[in-house]
């Protein structure tokens, strides 16, 4: 079901021509900073992969991939990617990328089961990145170092945008705050996960929530994660499980927390077997990706995705992702947006 957040007295600060210029500058500048900071080289990513290899991202496990038959392959089915979380790790191995270096790509996807609204579209565009690491890098301090590097690129991009368009003002804090999902639960025990995100992000401005996918003390995870890419079960230095998380900032236009990135240290053999067992997905051990990981032919890695349209929304002070990208929206949403001054592309 679609849902529209209606910010009071909303007025776009940039016209449509300025918006297109801003999108171009943000995407070019941020990806160069990301690549330099994390030592990533650009590669070309697929729009679709063959079904049945275990390469496509299962997200929370409920979303249906868009699929189609391929005539010249005997009607074998391909799936439009949800993200490239697993494909990137295969690519690190195929390109023999050494620890300390990595890859990034422009990921374009179709997520037909999204609930459409200000933040969610059928069309997803993000920078998908992956970096090879050493065994001793599989710890929470290394994860935090990667997060701070990404956040620094975000701060530099915000400065560029506000210099280019003086009508825009910076809103990001100078540093990002880290908190585990269990600590967040203990701090706000009577709030829902999304309400907890709003509360902590409103207070600090930019937050990285650690341990997305691991069961918390009340038996439920903060949010769902597929069991075969992020390591959400290995105990970290503070004793709490999880070497992954979500990066959120406070969106002053919408008055809510705003997820920009999901990332983490990826599963090793032990974490994969444990998470597949705990989630009842052990049959995946027979898939191509999982066999490669279990036999030791894939490197240890850290990686994630960073939303391109969402980042542009944040910097350009937009109320709806449809002001940044062209997509399909319910007619009622288009009508309501026009009524309150949100110009959808």
Give a yes or no: residue 80 inside a domain: yes
Give a yes or no: residue 8 inside a domain: no
Do strands 40-42 and 48-50 pair parallel, antiparallel, or not at all (unpaired)? unpaired
Considering 18, 106, 252, 259, which one is annotated as catalytic?
Answer: 259
Active site residue 246: yes
Give a yes or no: residue 235 inside a domain: yes
Per this entry, what is the length of the chain?
345
Active site residue 57: yes
Question: Edge to edge, what strands does the sheet with 67-70 contain?
Answer: 48-50, 76-80, 67-70
Q: For residues 137 and 302, is the Cβ–Cβ distance under 8 A?
A: yes
Give a yes or no: residue 100 inside a domain: yes
Considering 31, 121, 126, 275, which one is annotated as catalytic?
Answer: 126
Active site residue 89: no
pLDDT in tens, 140-149: 999 999 999 9
Give a yes or no: residue 3 inside a domain: no
pLDDT in tens, 74-127: 999 999 888 898 999 999 999 999 999 999 999 998 888 889 999 999 999 999
Nearest to 132 by CA among 76, 171, 89, 182: 89
Give a yes or no: residue 302 inside a domain: yes
Give a yes or no: residue 43 inside a domain: yes
User: How far is it, in rounded angstroms, from Cα 5 to Cα 23?
Assistant: 22
Active site residue 21: no
Range of the domain at 34: 16-339
pLDDT at 61: 60
Give a yes or no: residue 152 inside a domain: yes
CATH classification at residue 119: 3.30.930.10
Active site residue 297: no
| Total domains, the chain | 1
pLDDT in tens, 42-71: 999 999 988 888 888 766 566 788 899 999
Confidence of residue 295 (pLDDT cuts 50, 70, 90): very high
Q: For residues 181 and 214, is the Cβ–Cβ distance under 8 A?
A: yes
């Amino acid at each position: 079901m679609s849902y529209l957040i209606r910010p009071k007295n909303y007025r776009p600060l940039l016209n449509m021509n300025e918006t297109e210029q801003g999108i171009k500058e943000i995407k070019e500048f941020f990806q160069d900073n990301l690549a330099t900071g994390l030592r990533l080289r650009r590669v070309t990513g697929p729009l679709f992969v063959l079904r049945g290899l275990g390469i496509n991202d299962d997200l929370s496990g409920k979303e249906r991939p868009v699929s189609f038959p391929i005539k010249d392959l005997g009607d074998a089915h391909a799936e439009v990617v949800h993200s490239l979380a697993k494909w990137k790790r295969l690519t690190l191995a195929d390109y023999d990328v050494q620890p300390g270096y990595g890859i990034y790509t422009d990921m374009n996807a179709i997520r037909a089961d999204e609930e459409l609204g200000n933040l969610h579209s059928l069309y997803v565009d993000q920078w998908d990145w992956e970096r090879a690491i050493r065994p001793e890098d599989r710890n929470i301090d290394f994860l935090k170092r990667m997060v701070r590097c990404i956040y620094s690129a975000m701060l530099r991009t915000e400065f560029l945008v506000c210099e280019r368009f003086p009508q825009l003002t910076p809103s990001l804090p100078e540093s990002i705050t880290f908190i585990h999902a269990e600590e967040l639960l203990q701090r706000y025990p009577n709030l829902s996960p999304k309400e907890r995100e709003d509360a902590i992000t409103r207070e600090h401005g930019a937050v990285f929530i650690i341990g997305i996918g691991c069961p918390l003390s009340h038996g439920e995870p903060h949010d769902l994660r597929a069991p075969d890419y992020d390591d959400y079960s290995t105990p970290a230095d503070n004793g709490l499980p999880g070497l992954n998380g979500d990066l959120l900032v406070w969106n002053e236009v919408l008055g809510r927390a705003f997820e920009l990135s999901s990332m983490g240290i990826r599963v090793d053999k032990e974490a994969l077997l444990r998470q597949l067992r705990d989630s009842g997905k052990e049959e995946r051990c027979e898939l191509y990706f999982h066999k490669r990981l279990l036999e030791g032919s894939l490197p240890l890695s850290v990686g994630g995705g960073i939303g391109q349209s969402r980042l542009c929304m944040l910097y350009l002070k937009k109320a709806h992702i449809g002001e940044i990208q062209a997509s399909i929206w319910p007619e009622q949403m288009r009508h309501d947006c026009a009524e309150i001054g949100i110009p959808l592309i």
